[in-house]
Amino acid sequence: MSDRQTILVIGVGPGTGDALIRRFATAGFAAVMVARKMDHIGPLAGEIEAAGAKAMAENIDITDEAAVTDLFARVEAELGPVSVAVFNGSYRLKQPFTEIEMEGFQQTLDVNLTGAFLMAREAARRMGPRGAGSIFFTGAQSTFRGRVNMAAFGMAKAGARGLALSMAEDLGPEGIHVANFNIDGPVDNPKTRRRDPSLIGTGKLIDTARIAEIYYQTHLQAKDDWDFDVHIRAGET
């Protein structure tokens, strides 16, 4: 069995997901990236491998129990044990509350909550016997602060935060570090810059490299120093 560590990130695109993959790969981790489309993560995997690290790019239905189980099995067979699993997936339904239809509401819950649960459960089942590992969740402002037209998304992300905090109590004694990262503000990524260019250069955007560094340092924490509910804001160090 290889001593190499592996990070698996669900929800990799330009921004936080990219930054997480690059930061951990730089530290010697094999990197597994999961996204809805291969057109971004395929080249990213090539970039990581060209830099000397192992990488896998996968497109699966993260709400499908069998697909998630199979993903972990294939990753661990090819790259070794997953030591860090990050749920960075997100489906944002942005609609006035009274106009939300059940289809969109259910998809919001399926991706943001069911997907998070399935990844976390499979990671915990594999990390538990080894007595070590980190399971991280990416939260959002809507987790703890109401936003216009974001009721379904806020509900789902708040549920994922509750999942993380309860898992931390359950799994901490087994040596598994579970934490939720509350991203409290707009993230500096291409989508945000296109949507609101007035934020560029104001110091109000949260740097993705800093986000990734916080995740990495949280993974390295000694058990007595574990953080479980991390808030990340623009301008903080």
**How many Å apart are CA 93 and CA 55, to the nearest integer?**
31
Token reading at 136: 């991280």
pTM of full prediction above 0.85 = yes
pLDDT of residue 143: 78
Q: Residues 9, 66, 133, CA angle at the centre, nearest 5°?
A: 40
Chain-centroid distance of CA 202 in Å reads: 26
Tens-digit pLDDT profile for residues 17-54:
999 999 999 999 999 999 988 989 999 999 999 999 99
> What is the token pair recorded at 71?
């993903």
Calculate the alpha carbon distances from 59 to 40, 62, 66, 104, 109 in Å: 11, 9, 14, 21, 19
**Over 80: is that where the pLDDT of 2 sits?**
no
Residue (of 70, 69, 86) closest to 32 by Cα position: 86
Angle, CA 34 vertex, CA 156 and CA 196 arms, to 5°: 60
For the chain, list the strands marked E by DSSP. 6-10, 30-34, 55-58, 82-87, 133-138, 176-184, 229-233
List Cβ neighbours of 54 (8 Å cut-off, separation of 6 or more): 4, 6, 30, 31, 48, 79
Q: Is the pLDDT of residue 127 over 90?
A: yes
Domain ranges of the chain: 6-231
pLDDT at 92 over 50: yes
Residue 37 has what pLDDT? 86
pLDDT band for position 81 (cuts 50, 70, 90): very high
pLDDT class of 88 with cuts at 50, 70, 90: very high
Q: Starting at the edge strand that comes first in sequence, how are the strands of the sheet with 30-34 ordered?
A: 55-58, 30-34, 6-10, 82-87, 133-138, 176-184, 229-233
What kind of fold does domain 6-231 have according to CATH?
Rossmann fold (3.40.50)
